[in-house]
Every structure is written in C-alpha cells, then in structure tokens.
A and B are shown apart, each in its own frame.
Chain A
C-alpha cells in the first residue's frame, strides 16, 4: 500500500490567492482527517470525514477554509483567499476504526 498520498509537497503562493491541497487516503479506510501543524500550535485537527461525509469541522479556522470529499479516494482542502498566517504544514490522515495514518504533508508558504 502506498499510504496516504498528498499533493503538492510544497506550495508557495501570494497572499490573496486560492490554494488547493489534495489527498488520496489509504484504500478501504473510511475516515479522513485534515490537520495543520505549526510550531506555535502543534497539530490541530481541522476537519474530518466519515464515509465521505463531513462530521466535525469545528477546527476549521475561518470561512476561508473549505474541504470536500467527493468520493472515498479523494479529498481537497481549499483556502480562499490565502493569508500569510495560513503558512503551515497541512497533513491528511486516514483510518479504519483505529489510529490515523498520516501522509507526508504539504508545506504551504503564503507570502
């Protein structure tokens, strides 16, 4: 199994631009999570899906953030418009009734 696959690995964008992060979970996993990691705040859960349905999005910081999971093998996290304070590493993780398996992350830099 290739594990959780995220793209891109690195993203540099200008403030105000739209950013889309992509995730392919492990085949057969029914839960998908988006996390944000910063030095100051550590690992924060942004949103999670179960069977493609958003269950808890209370961690999404603002309306600028949105996430979708159109099918069991794909999810996106979109930031529009992006701001410098959104700079962080964004992780996608998936699970099947157990602990989460993380992707390698997308390092986002908003300048």
Chain B
C-alpha cells in the first residue's frame, strides 16, 4: 500500500515559471510533511517542511501548501531556475516529526529549461 502518492513523475518548466508538485496521503495520523531535494549522485536533502496546524509555509522561492481536509500537500517553486533541476520527494511522518516514521513519495524529476 502506497501511503504517499506523488505526481507528476516528471515535470519540465521554463526558467522563471512556477513548478508545482503534488502529494496525497492516506494515513490521517501523519503530522509532519517534509520535502526533500536530490541532485544526481547525492543523497536527498531536506528542503522545507510543514505541520498540519498551518495551511502554508514559505521559505524563499519554495512554498508548501497544505490541505488537511483533502489530505493533500504541494510544493511550489516560484521563479524556477535551472539550478532547481533535481528530483523532489515528498514525505510524511506520524512520529511527531521524527525521521523514523518517514514514508516517501516516488519522486518527481524536475527539469527547468533555460
């Protein structure tokens, strides 16, 4: 059973555009939702995270939007740059933010065209 469904699998966006990646979850006990960014040959790195008590969190050009009733959350990358080209993973945890409960989505391969 896939507990976190991520879409799209791949995404191509023009430089300066908005990249949007979506995730849906099933387990209502999840209470922590991080996004990870992975470059080729590197391990995933924490990008931004949100808890369900807020509907949006913004850090620079990266924003998480969270819809608790729909059990969905999304990552928005504003003014997308070629350096943002990477694979992005959403994740969810029900261990109060502890990494031991993290369930990952399958990933989105993002390409920003110059």
Contacts and interface: CB of A to CB of B under 8 A. Distances in A.
Interface of A: 4, 31, 33, 42-43, 45, 48, 50, 55-56, 91, 93, 95, 97-105
Q: Interface range on chain B: under 10, 10 to 19, 20 to 34, or 35 or more?
A: 10 to 19
Contact of B46 (A45, A56, A99, A104): A99
Interface of B: 34, 36, 41-46, 49, 89, 97-100, 102, 104-107
A101 to B, nearest CB: 7
Contact of B98 (A93, A97, A101, A105): A97
B77 to A, nearest CB: 19
- Secondary structure of the A contact surface, majority rule: strand
Given A93-B99, A95-B99, A97-B98, A102 B43 contact: yes
B100 to A, nearest CB: 5
